Structures are given as C-alpha cells and as structure tokens.
Structure 1
C-alpha cells in the first residue's frame, strides 16, 4: 500500500442529521446548510441522510435515504449506502435525542462501519453529561477528524472538559438567511399586525424556553406601550403534542389571561414556511429570547433575528453572551421579569436608538449568512479530507479474484477431517466434524486443479476416508456428526447430509484427478444410491440429483441413475405446479437455504436426460430466484434467514450466508452451459462480488489474505465466526467463477498460491 498527497477538493459528500419537512430546529438547520452548500458549490454532490423518528414523514427527493432512529441495523445499511455512493466525507449534525440507542449510541455503529473522514457539528455540548451521554460523546469525538462548534464556549469546553486537540476544532457561527434590512412597519402592514410595537419570540413551543417569564414581564411594558403585541410564533413541538397535546400552550394562554395580557399575547400556532417566517421576524421591533438557563450553546432563532437586523433582548445563555457582546444587544438576568420589562421599555421609548441598533446588528451579522457559512464549512471539510492519507491500492492481476486459496481449508483440517468451526481462524475442537463439510471439501478438491497436486491429494484422501467411515451399512445411511474424540454422535445423518454426500461422490466419479479415486467413489456411490429413493426433502433430493447427474455423465449407461433422475424431475415439476402462483414461481411455498440448488438440479438433470422441458423449468425458476435475490440498488442480496419458513413471504434482508452466494454462482454456471446467455455471467458476478463487499453492508466477507471467509452478514455487521462451511463456500464460489471464465473463452483455470 502506498500513500500520496492528492488534490483534496471534495466533489461528493454525505450529510447526516434531520431534514425538512420534519419539524425541529435541527431539521431546519441541516436542510438549510445542505441547500447552502449546493448553491455555493454547484459541482459538489451532497447526499442528505435523514433520521426518521417514525412519524411517517414524507421526505422529498433531496433526501437520499432515511434511517429509522431505533433500528440499529438501519445504521449499518446506511453506512453501506454511503460507502457504495462514493462519498468522500461524512458531515454529521449531532444533537442528543436524535439518534437511537442509549444516548444515541446507534450513531457510533454507523461510524464504526465507515472509513471516511468525518466532520461533526456539535449542536449541543453538555457540561454535566450522564455516563451514557459521556460515552457516546467520547466515541463521537474520537471518530471525528474535525469538529465544528457555533460558540467559542463550545471550543473551550472541548479542550477543557473533553481534552480535544484545539487544532481540530473550528468555530463557525450558526448560519442564517440573507435579506436586505427593512423597516418593520412595511411587514406589519403585510401581515395585518397593526401599527403598535411588536415583540416576538419564535421556535417550536415547549417548556424550558422561558415564555412564562416573558409573559410575566408584559404588564409594565403594556402600561407604557398600550398597543404592544407579544407574538409567540411556532407550532408546539411534535413530541410534546404526542405526549400532552396542547396542554402547555393552553397554560400560557391562561397565564396571559390571569395577568390581563390576553389581548396583548398572540400565538401563531403553526409551522411557518421560510419566507413567511422571515416576514414575521422583520415585522418585529424587538426579538426576545427568554431562555431560563445558561446551557443553550447555540440558538438558531437568535441567529436568524440578528441576520435580519432585529434588536434583541435576551437572557445571558452562551450563544447570546457571545453574539450580543459589544453592545449589539441587551442582556437581562435569567428569570428576571422586571429586568426584562425594563429593557423592553427603554428600547421601545427611543425609536431612533432602536433603528440605529437594527442597522448595527444587521451589519455585524453578515458573516453568518448561509453563503459564507457554506464556504467556511467547505474549508473545514477539505481540511479533514487532506488530513487523511490517500491509499492507492495495488493493481490486481486479471482473474485474480478467482484464485483459489486452499491454505484456509488445510488449516481447518487434521488427520480425521475438516473441523466444523473455528475461533478467529483457530480450529475449535469442541465442535468436532460433520460429513456435510467433508463432502463439500472432497468435491471441491477433486474438481479444482489449484495448488500443489501432492498437498491436494493428501487432503482428498482425508476427506474420502471420512465419508467412507461415515457409511453405516446397517442403516443404509451416512452418519453426519462426529465428536473430536472420533465417536459418531448418531447412527444416521439427516436427509440433507446424505444427499450432499451422494452429490460429492457423483462429482468425484466425474472429476477426480486419479483413476483410483474414481473407482473408490463409484463403489461407495453404488452402495449408497438406494438411499436416494428414500429422500423426501426437496433440498436433499436436489443434492442427490446433482450427484446422480454427475454419475450419469461419468457412466452414460447408468440406467438406475437415469430412472432416479426422471422420477425426481417429475416430483419437482409436481411440487412447482402445487406451489406456484402468479407472483411465486417456486417449488415450495417458502424460501429457505441453498435455494439455488433446486433449479440447478433441474438444469443438470435435464441436460443429462436431454429433456428441454426440464431444463426450461430449471432456468425459469432460477430467473425468478435471481429477481428475489436482487436488492433495490441492484446488488446481490441472498435470502435472509429471518424469512426462512414464512409462506409466500418476500426474502428478509438478514442474516445473509456465504452458502447462498456460492450456490447461486454454481447454478448460474449450470445455466450458462445450457443456453450461453451472458446474463448468467452477469448474475454470477453480482453474487461473487457479494463476498468482496458489494452487499447491503458494503463489507467484505473474505479475510485479508483471502484464505478464510466470515460466516455472513447480520444487521449489526459481519459475523466474525470463521466456519468450515463459509470457508468452503467462498472457495467453491471462486472455483465456479474460474469454470465460468473457462466456459466463456477457454481461459485455463488459475492455480492458487499456497
């Protein structure tokens, strides 16, 4: 791996936060900041990922994807979507209460699944976080390459309380709209507000914003200004409406009535669109922010009021103290209605001073307008991108994805057979062996010519001996599970395990590299073949059909095999007729595991029997299955285990297993051999790239050296177990792709590097 410094200018970013039309301050800020970036940088692609609180909000085309806040798997899927999109950086807008999990822990899950530069804007910083909040904040800070705060106090808190390097922190004031300074009288007339003085507060209505104090301050002000109106603009916060209805608003109306201020307090009880909101703001003579506590580190409402040139009376919360410094506004103590009244009376008594303050505030706020905000944010993002080295991956040789690696298989194998499970790649002897894995390993090593022939033959003998020892003459069945102490754990294995063993023996008869192996496989196959008549499970029958078809290819005069194939294809056709309906072209009313083996068995049996109708059935059902295994984004999505056994149910997304991808590739190889349709090659390649990371999570299943394969994809990420089934599935997929390449153009199979 090499690193170099490249042009760091960004062309594509992802933004994560809330989005309009969700009704909250963060949604407004995030959507406006995205719009500002798009306007300031027309060549920049911005994908907006919006948190969804389950209120059935219909988002527009500006939102690339919604993320259900409480569904941790959705965060993993979102990370995969961001990776697949080609975004070069993620900009996170963080606020407690937006993300799911304890204190928003799910956000960290998303970040753990990304390897991109991250810029985080912190909309809230708590001076006394609880333990969950502290853990999430530390995790977020650690995952961020650059941090944006909207107040100098925030930067100091990061350095002093969270020990963040000040060099990665940038203070960018809250963005705001850009409008010419206007006299309030013109807007009052437009909105029908009369000629009297207007004091205004806006924002989603909820407790903790000090509206009670503002109402209590009104009587002495009204005594001086009888025509005064106090406008409280904004709908009640949706979360409060869900829990309490309009009880809080009604309590404020009652308070105003008790104080004799009912005629002077007006509630504009709705969520205003941008232009109307700006009209209301510019109609105000004074903007009032009566927050009762210091913690408010940023206020979008204050930023908007200042940008529109409104004189401000405010309590001294963090944002107000910084923004109103140097005489830009008037600060009054928290909860002090008398002081608030005094400040309002003084300002309203001097219209000239009020007008001069409006002009001074408007000029001072120009650096906060959205266009300048966007440029400042872009500088931070480019800086974050430049701080990451750019990796130039080594060029892969043509065909290298299909190199078989036998060392992982060998690492799981001892003198008895291949061990079922491992702990991080170290064979786990507690689980012993099974014939399923040994049959798969035998079939693969007899079909491939990868690796050192002597080493391959050594492994073949081990797996063949396991199958031979598993045969139970008394029951006429193969045993399946064996403990590490070499004791069989059952007298007869499952139908599936017996079908798979017949399949492996048939393939050895057809493809083994030595005559003695073909003779050995033929003898055991003939002894075991009667069990095929006793199989009832469609998958077990399909496995046996694949083995019998291979055996008939090896011995075209094998009449018993031909008869068994004929009966089996008739059974499958009957099952299809019974189960199918207009939207369901399948042999069963459910989808389960190893699905592609069913149509593959029909294709292989029809090919050997020269029965075009049987082949056509196999091809048609495989096409239907491929549509079920295609995600909306177009990548391969194997049938998830969560939908196994559910009648006529669409496939669930998780859990996804390597065996499904391998089976699909093998079935596409069979289909291509009978009709030569290039679509089967494309379908196989989609399934193969699932192993490489072209999947719902955007995560590779192969270990770094390509010798091992993880056990699948779950909503939480990759299942980090490394079982023999998965290791073999990936190598079988590589073998099938190598054969598909050879079937297309005669390219010889590539050998593995041991």
Structure 2
C-alpha cells in the first residue's frame, strides 16, 4: 500500500500524531507520503520521519475564507499528484485542505479515504462546517479522536467495544496516542536533575498550549492575585505562542501580577515534558468550545505532577475522573481554579499517588495502540 497523509504544513500536533502511524506503515513494508499544503503563513514544517516521502503543495495565501485562488491552486496540484503517485489510501485531517482532498481522491480516482476529525464541530465557522458536511460522503472511514468530538458531529454516536459506531460502521473512535515509553524516560531524567531544571526558587505553575482565548490562560491569570498573596515567589509559565500574547500580558499588568507571568514561546517537545515534570502544578484551563482531546493532559498524566484541569467533557474522558493528584475546576471560573491550585500547593504527593494516571494513559492512549488501529483500518479498506 501507498498511504498519503494530508494536512496544512504547519499543523505540528497532527503531524506528530501521524508520524507514529506512518512509521508503522513503513515497518509493515508499505509506503507513506506526507502531502503538505503551504500558504506561507504557517510556522516552518516539521521534518518527516526517516523513510517517509514528502510532497509540498504551495498555494497563494487566502485573503478570506472562500478565496478561490487558494482552493483552485490546491485542487489542480493535488489532482496532478494523485495521478502521478497513485496512492492507495488518502488520510486527511483538518477540513482545510481535507474537504477538498477527499472529494478529489474519491470522486476522480476512486481512492479510499480516511478522515480523522480532531476538532469539535461547533468550533468551526459556518463555511468550514458546510465544507465538511458537503464532502463527508466521500470518506470511507471517519475517525474521531474522542467520544466528545464524535458526539459533536454525530449526537447518536454509539461505539461498540472496538470503537465502531453501531449505527454506522463507517464512523469509529481511535484515541490519539502518545509515546508513553519515551515520555516516561524524559520524566525520569527530569526528576533526576530537577534542581538544575527549576527556573525559580518559588512554586511554578505551568500550562502548555497556543496563546488563544479558547485555551483559557486568562482564567489562570485572573486567579493569580489571590494565589501570589500566599506564594509571593510563584511563577506562572505558559509554553506556547499565538495571537493572544499581548492581551494576556495586558491582563497580567492590570492585575499587578505581570512579574509572575512568563511566556517563553514554543519550546522543544522534550523540554515541555521536562518542565511539566519539575513544575509544582500543571494547569489545563481550556474551554470546551474547541478542545477535542487534550494531548497535553494525557502527557501531563505521565509526569507525576499534580494537575488542575477545567471540567470539560473531553478532559473528564481522558482523565477518567478526579483523584488526589488530578482535580477539576469549573470551566472559566478563576475562583474555583484558585481554590484547586491552593490545595495542590499546600499538599504533598508520593509517587504512588500518580500510578492510576500513568496506568490509564498506558492502557488507553499509547501511540502503539493508535498506530495499530489505523494500520488495521488501512488494511480493511485496501482489501475491499
């Protein structure tokens, strides 16, 4: 088989997920190609894993959501590439350019199409929703990364023990996967050298995520004045970048806590894990409108660091419930968040307290499990 994976060039989180699946395809003596749409507006692409081919499709940057120049250029180039490369499976992800690609692949070349839905349906604008609905008939399999995402597309989604929808087997659940063994090795190393890794002598709270309103960082900043009264040397560190940086800085200044906020931007993935492992608390304050899985939450569950997360359906699905080392606060409620943070900063936790979280991630969200599920799906479609 020749599997073509397709998304925007700068969609780093999705490409990291696809890496493990593509490598499993290659290990099974098949071919994998990353087809990346580039419009010059996104951050530089990640290099593909060894053995994975790469095809870049350069298009003009869209000036508005339905700009015909970008879509026309992509359709022409993708059509030509399919004709030459003859992939046997096309795996699309986000709706731009996935909606265009799956129509071309299926309608013009009869190539089986797998689509993974990573985002909550209501988080997309009406134009994107229309594109998804109009082209989903061209997908042979539609995968959802959580039950929350599935039910946002299909309220009657009812998976069996294999994650396949009892009402329509074209739809299924495959959880996102993380490299459990690698992350545990990074965490162990971080704990061994924790004195050197700690950026300050006071408590450190850490969040990982893009600087956009949907990630909820403003809720944490709103809670900081009360928290720093008890912990005057506390730092709140956000690892990520995005358009909300200035607004977050202004909010911190207006509340008199700017000196307690650090936003170093994006860091290497291993460095993010190391910082989570040595922090005093990991805060996951996302709003429910956009969060489809919470990859950083699953990773944090391996770091043996107390976690405070917003009580949104997908976080409850990933976490599997509350415990002494993982607690929830009311979504968007800074007072509720502050109470939970004060609790973890006042407490002590032995490593055994974290074992249920580690076991849950290893059992449900290991990358090997995800990769095998996709490989099995590709084989089913190819043998039809």
TM range (shorter): 0.7 to 0.9
- The aligned residue for residue 14 of structure 1 is 4
Question: Does 2:366 align with 1:374?
Answer: no
TM-score, length-scaled by structure 1: 0.43
C-alpha separation between the residues in 1 aligned to 2:360 and 2:298? 11
Q: 1:64 aligns with which of 46, 54, 68?
A: 54
Q: In structure 2, the residue corresponding to 1:182 is in which secondary structure? A: helix
Aligned residue runs from structure 1 range 206-355, under 5 A? 206-236=212-242, 240=243, 248-269=244-265, 271-327=266-322, 329-352=326-349, 355=351
The structure 1 segments of at least 4 consecutive aligned residues displaced by more than 6 Å after TM superposition are: 161-164
Contact 1:67 1:75 in 2 (8 A): no
Q: In structure 2, the residue corresponding to 1:66 is in which secondary structure? A: strand
C-alpha separation between the residues in 1 aligned to 2:3 and 2:103? 19
- The aligned residue for residue 46 of structure 1 is 32
Seen in structure 2, the aligned counterparts of structure 1 residues 310 and 156 have a Cα distance that, compared at 3 Å, is same
Unaligned 5+ runs, structure 2: 60-69, 159-164
C-alpha separation between the residues in 1 aligned to 2:214 and 2:278? 25
Unaligned 5+ runs, structure 1: 1-10, 241-247, 389-754
Contact 2:238 2:264 in 1 (8 A): yes
CA deviations over 1:104-152 (Å, ceiling 9, x no partner): 7634553333311111100113248665334322233211111111111
**CA positional deviation for 1:211:** 1.2
Aligned residue runs from structure 1 range 491-640, under 5 A? none
Question: Does 2:24 align with 1:28?
Answer: no
CA deviations over 1:17-61 (Å, ceiling 9, x no partner): 134xx3xxx323224422453157422311000121224876557
- The aligned residue for residue 161 of structure 2 is none
Seen in structure 2, the aligned counterparts of structure 1 residues 364 and 105 have a Cα distance that, compared at 3 Å, is closer
C-alpha separation between the residues in 1 aligned to 2:291 and 2:121? 9
C-alpha separation between the residues in 2 aligned to 1:39 and 1:267? 36
C-alpha separation between the residues in 1 aligned to 2:109 and 2:41? 28
Seen in structure 2, the aligned counterparts of structure 1 residues 191 and 40 have a Cα distance that, compared at 3 Å, is farther
C-alpha separation between the residues in 1 aligned to 2:191 and 2:315? 26
Seen in structure 2, the aligned counterparts of structure 1 residues 186 and 348 have a Cα distance that, compared at 3 Å, is farther
Q: In structure 2, the residue corresponding to 1:46 is in which secondary structure? A: strand
C-alpha separation between the residues in 1 aligned to 2:253 and 2:42? 37
C-alpha separation between the residues in 2 aligned to 1:327 and 1:57? 36
**CA positional deviation for 1:294:** 4.1
Contact 1:72 1:109 in 2 (8 A): no
CA deviations over 1:232-254 (Å, ceiling 9, x no partner): 11222xxx4xxxxxxx4233223
**CA positional deviation for 1:84:** 2.8
Q: In structure 1, the residue corresponding to 2:276 is in which secondary structure? A: helix
**CA positional deviation for 1:92:** 0.8
**CA positional deviation for 1:91:** 0.9
C-alpha separation between the residues in 2 aligned to 1:317 and 1:385? 37
- The aligned residue for residue 82 of structure 1 is 82
**CA positional deviation for 1:207:** 2.7
- Where is the strand percentage greater, Structure 1 or Structure 2? 2
- The aligned residue for residue 175 of structure 1 is 177
Seen in structure 2, the aligned counterparts of structure 1 residues 307 and 107 have a Cα distance that, compared at 3 Å, is farther
Seen in structure 2, the aligned counterparts of structure 1 residues 335 and 157 have a Cα distance that, compared at 3 Å, is closer
CA deviations over 1:393-432 (Å, ceiling 9, x no partner): xxxxxxxxxxxxxxxxxxxxxxxxxxxxxxxxxxxxxxxx
Contact 1:187 1:282 in 2 (8 A): no
C-alpha separation between the residues in 2 aligned to 1:341 and 1:183? 30
Cα root mean square deviation, aligned: 3.0
Question: Does 2:80 align with 1:94?
Answer: no
Q: In structure 2, the residue corresponding to 1:251 is in which secondary structure? A: helix
**CA positional deviation for 1:161:** 6.9
**Residues 209-218 or 225-234, more deviating:** 225-234
Seen in structure 2, the aligned counterparts of structure 1 residues 150 and 340 have a Cα distance that, compared at 3 Å, is same
Seen in structure 2, the aligned counterparts of structure 1 residues 183 and 38 have a Cα distance that, compared at 3 Å, is closer
- The aligned residue for residue 209 of structure 2 is 203
Seen in structure 2, the aligned counterparts of structure 1 residues 192 and 342 have a Cα distance that, compared at 3 Å, is closer
Seen in structure 2, the aligned counterparts of structure 1 residues 184 and 343 have a Cα distance that, compared at 3 Å, is farther
- The aligned residue for residue 355 of structure 2 is 359
Seen in structure 2, the aligned counterparts of structure 1 residues 94 and 379 have a Cα distance that, compared at 3 Å, is same
Question: Does 2:148 align with 1:153?
Answer: yes
Larger Rg: 1
C-alpha separation between the residues in 2 aligned to 1:255 and 1:113? 52
Q: RCO (CA 8 Å, sep 6+): is it higher in 1 or 2?
A: 2
C-alpha separation between the residues in 2 aligned to 1:145 and 1:194? 52
Contact 1:119 1:384 in 2 (8 A): no
Corresponding pairs, count:
354
TM-score, length-scaled by structure 2: 0.81
Seen in structure 2, the aligned counterparts of structure 1 residues 202 and 85 have a Cα distance that, compared at 3 Å, is same
